[in-house]
Structure 1
Amino acid sequence: MKRETQNILLVLLGGALLKIALNGTYLRYVKPGQQAWLIGAGAVMVIIAFVSIGRDIVASRRPEPVTGEIHDHDHRSHSTWLLILPVLAVFLAPPALGEDAVNRAFGRTPAPPSSQDFGFPPLPAGDVIDQRVKDFVERAAWDKSGSLNDRTVRLTGFIVHRDNETFMARLAIGCCAADAFPVKVRLVGDGLDSLVGDAWHRATVRYQAGSSTKESRYVPTVKITAIEPIAEPPDPYEY
């Protein structure tokens, strides 16, 4: 591959990293804390490419020495074309993981929280409290004080249909989308069949005490009191 092509691919790859880091698309793949690293990596690639282009331009303007021997060097690197694969992946912008990823990992049991005594802080006061799905699932499974009993909670997630059951789910990540694992609650109520799979909703629910057990794979059951469709949030994952 010619140096000019290599430089162009490097500019495209660096520009693609900058694009997703600055417009927020990177949140489909990694945690928010990775933004600075993506910007830095993209900027370094673009700078290296332009420095290399500049050096090639300067070198092309110098007269070549006349010698008695002619050397024909043809340095080819077919592997350099692999740089275009991440560029295409970025510009095609695949969506964040959703219903299909949850169904493929359906039998996975969530790990207990890191605290050995499973201590949870008191829930805030109020008629309706907002919680992440991950926090709700952990509290339902491991909080022995029953703090969710008789409380009304608002959850945000996407709809997952499996067999004859309906769930609200989120995907939690430790570093990036490659290590994502699902957290979900089982929904009960009227009209669940009409909910569109993978569509995002905000639901007001009440926990059915005792439903998060080893037999249910620590998936709590909640009764819907209200639900409304929403747009996909800018950051679709939980941490």
Structure 2
Amino acid sequence: MRRETQNILLVLLGGALLKISITGTYLRYVKPSHQWLLIAGGTVMVLLAAVSIIREIRGARDEDGHGHVHSTRSAWLLVLPVLAVFLVGPPSLGADSVERASGNALAAPSTEGEGSELFPALPAGSPIALQLSEFSARAAWDKGHSLDNRRARLLGFVVQEGPDTYVARLAISCCAADAFPVKIKLLGRELSDLPDNSWIEVDATLRPGSATRANEYVPAVTTYAVRRVAQPEDPYEH
């Protein structure tokens, strides 16, 4: 690979990292705590490319003896398709990723005990705002039945699977590459008109005993209210 092409690719990749870090698009790929790493990496790439380009220009002038710089326009034109790939990011993962998984990828507790030992007490008030992953874990493993008769407020996107409607999120440990789906079945209302990937806020109560090994720990809830909302800046759970 020619040095000019290497420099151009460094500028593009570094610029792409800085752009997604500043605009918040990086949240489609990694956790919020990784922002400073992306900014640092992008800055280093751009600086390295700038230093290399300056050295190349000075070297070309010295070789010419007349201050003439050879044109590298063709290299820039060849890299335009790469520019589009780097700077136009794909959307975050959604309903398609959830539909490819049959159930919830929840890890069983490593210890046995009552719900008060495995899960912290829920706050007072109603409804309680909970992440889907926490709600599903409590529904499956909480021996203290802390969700029974408690109204929860759940935020996620719609997944339509045949006659069934789910609210779902993707949870990540590090980045989108390790994302796993969490979904909750919505009962008690006709919701088939909601399109896939539309974001909703749901007020609902758990149907006790609905999250079992047989259905891969997908709980069902009785739905009381559903509101269409905008996609949050960070679409994943952590």
TM-score under structure 1 length normalisation: 0.87
Map 1:30-109 to 2 at 5 A: 30-63=30-63, 88-107=84-103, 109=105
- Secondary structure, in 3 states, of the residue corresponding to 1:192? coil
State whether residues 113 and 138 of structure 1, in contact with CA within 8 Å, keep that contact through their aligned partners in structure 2.
no
* Runs of 5+ unmatched residues, structure 2: 66-77
- Structure 1 vs Structure 2 CA RMSD: 2.1
2:16 maps to: 16
- Secondary structure, in 3 states, of the residue corresponding to 1:45? helix
2:151 maps to: 152
1:128 maps to: 127
State whether residues 20 and 90 of structure 1, in contact with CA within 8 Å, keep that contact through their aligned partners in structure 2.
no
1:176 and 1:114 map into 2 onto residues whose CA distance is: 24
State whether residues 160 and 166 of structure 2, in contact with CA within 8 Å, keep that contact through their aligned partners in structure 1.
yes
Amino acid at match of 1:35: Q
State whether residues 161 and 197 of structure 1, in contact with CA within 8 Å, keep that contact through their aligned partners in structure 2.
yes
1:223 maps to: 222
Amino acid at match of 1:45: M
1:236 and 1:6 map into 2 onto residues whose CA distance is: 34
1:109 and 1:35 map into 2 onto residues whose CA distance is: 27
Structure 1 position 88, deviation (Å): 4.0
Amino acid at match of 1:180: A
2:188 and 2:126 map into 1 onto residues whose CA distance is: 20
Amino acid at match of 1:27: L
- Secondary structure, in 3 states, of the residue corresponding to 1:160? strand
- Secondary structure, in 3 states, of the residue corresponding to 1:193? coil
State whether residues 187 and 221 of structure 2, in contact with CA within 8 Å, keep that contact through their aligned partners in structure 1.
yes
State whether residues 212 and 218 of structure 1, in contact with CA within 8 Å, keep that contact through their aligned partners in structure 2.
yes
Which of 111, 116, 122 is matched with 2:107 structurally? 111
1:151 and 1:42 map into 2 onto residues whose CA distance is: 46
State whether residues 105 and 180 of structure 2, in contact with CA within 8 Å, keep that contact through their aligned partners in structure 1.
no
- With 110-119 and 219-228 compared, the bigger mean Cα shift is at 110-119
CA distance change for structure 1 residues 34 and 116 in 2, over 3 Å: closer, same or farther? farther
2:4 maps to: 4
State whether residues 105 and 181 of structure 2, in contact with CA within 8 Å, keep that contact through their aligned partners in structure 1.
no
Structure 1 position 5, deviation (Å): 2.9
Amino acid at match of 1:104: R
CA distance change for structure 1 residues 178 and 115 in 2, over 3 Å: closer, same or farther? farther
Structure 1 position 2, deviation (Å): 3.6
1:142 aligns with 2:120: no
1:191 and 1:213 map into 2 onto residues whose CA distance is: 24
Deviations 1:145-179 (A, max 9, x none): 11100000000000001121111000001111111
- Secondary structure, in 3 states, of the residue corresponding to 2:202? strand
- Secondary structure, in 3 states, of the residue corresponding to 2:189? coil
CA distance change for structure 1 residues 108 and 140 in 2, over 3 Å: closer, same or farther? closer
2:177 maps to: 178
Structure 1 position 92, deviation (Å): 2.1
Amino acid at match of 2:106: P
